[in-house]
Amino acid sequence: MADETPPVDEMHYEQLAQDALRGVIRSALERAALPDGIPGAHHFYITFKTRAPGVSVPPDVMAKYPDEMTVVLQHQYWDLKVEAERFSVMLKFGGMPKVLSMPYTAVTRFYDPSVQFLLQFETPAVAESVAGEPEAGPDTPPPAGDDGPKVVSLDQFRKK
């Protein structure tokens, strides 16, 4: 039996599918940005990499969530701006309004628990925090000791 090399996916279907599913997030956020807000009982848990390229998070929030964080869009969010490649939203942290901005490529998970709808994405490249070092690229191996996705506690977002 001859060794055959597997076919090469020059269409990059996995990436095309990921991009299309990120379009679902954009469409959901566009509806949430309408004057009536998010319809019915829908609400969104959006998990993203805080150090992914293009992410803008205030320094105090970044200090608390140096790798990944989950935000909840339900009743208390303001100034949701949805663009073709990114979105921004104002949320309150400790009673203080803060603006978060990120490209859809930074999102690792989008979940609407009202209908049990979940989208999960490959982890994006993460920018290095030390000046002068190169950013991680798509061919950069994960850091040693990284066992995959991390669980983020959502308790702080629940009503008490």
Distance CA(153)–CA(70), nearest Å, equals 8
Structure tokens at 101: 């901005």
Model pLDDT, residue 122: 82
- Render pLDDT for 97-145 as a digit per residue (tens, 0 to 9): 999 999 999 999 999 999 999 999 987 666 554 333 334 443 334 444 4
Yes or no: say if 154 and 72 are a contact pair by the CB < 8 Å rule: yes
- Token readout for 112 is 């609407």
Q: How far is the first Cα of the chain from the last one, in angstroms, to the nearest whole number? A: 65
What pLDDT sits at residue 125? 65
The model's pTM: 0.74
3-state secondary structure 44-99: EEEEEECCCCCCECCHHHHHHCCCEEEEEECCCCEEEEECCCEEEEEEEECCEEEE
